[in-house]
Amino acid sequence: MSMTERRFGVAVFVSMLLLLAFTGFTGYRAAAFARCQAHYNDVNNERTRILTDVGASERDAQRARDDALDATLLDPSLLKPPDERTPAEQQRVRDLFLAYVRAADALRAERAKADAARAANPVPPPPSQICS
């Protein structure tokens, strides 16, 4: 074997070792990025679940408030002047209005909970900023 062949063989061997090291390092970095991405997805999924739950409660409270308002404003007793209403009709108007006030208070409470949940669970920074 000539000296040139030996140098070529050594150069190929060293190149292969460098390629193997680079491949190992690249694999390690890819696995670390995948773990970071998985953690990001878990955090973002939990945030989405929390905000979905409070959003649903907020929408339910909004619907209940809207229904109470409709029931109050569309009640036939409300079309009569107050002095022409029977005591039962007067009581019905009061009850409907109190139901509306309770529903409006419940909506305010749900909105406050939803706002607090949104503040406590902000959008996380993108993986490009935290998984480097």
In 3D space, the residue among 88, 66, 69, 90 whose CA is nearest the CA of residue 78 turns out to be 90
Question: How many Cβ atoms sit within 10 Å of the Cβ of residue 80?
Answer: 14
Contact by Cβ (8 Å): 47, 121:
yes
Q: What is the pLDDT of residues 13-54, one digit of tens each?
A: 999 999 999 999 999 999 999 999 999 999 999 999 999 999
Residue-wise pLDDT for 59-91, tens only, equals 999 999 999 999 999 999 988 999 999 999 999
Give the model's confidence band at 2: pLDDT under 50 very low, under 70 low, under 90 confident, else very high.
Answer: confident
Over residues 103-112, mean pLDDT? 97
What is the rounded distance in angstroms from the CA atom of residue 125 to the CA atom of residue 132?
Answer: 12
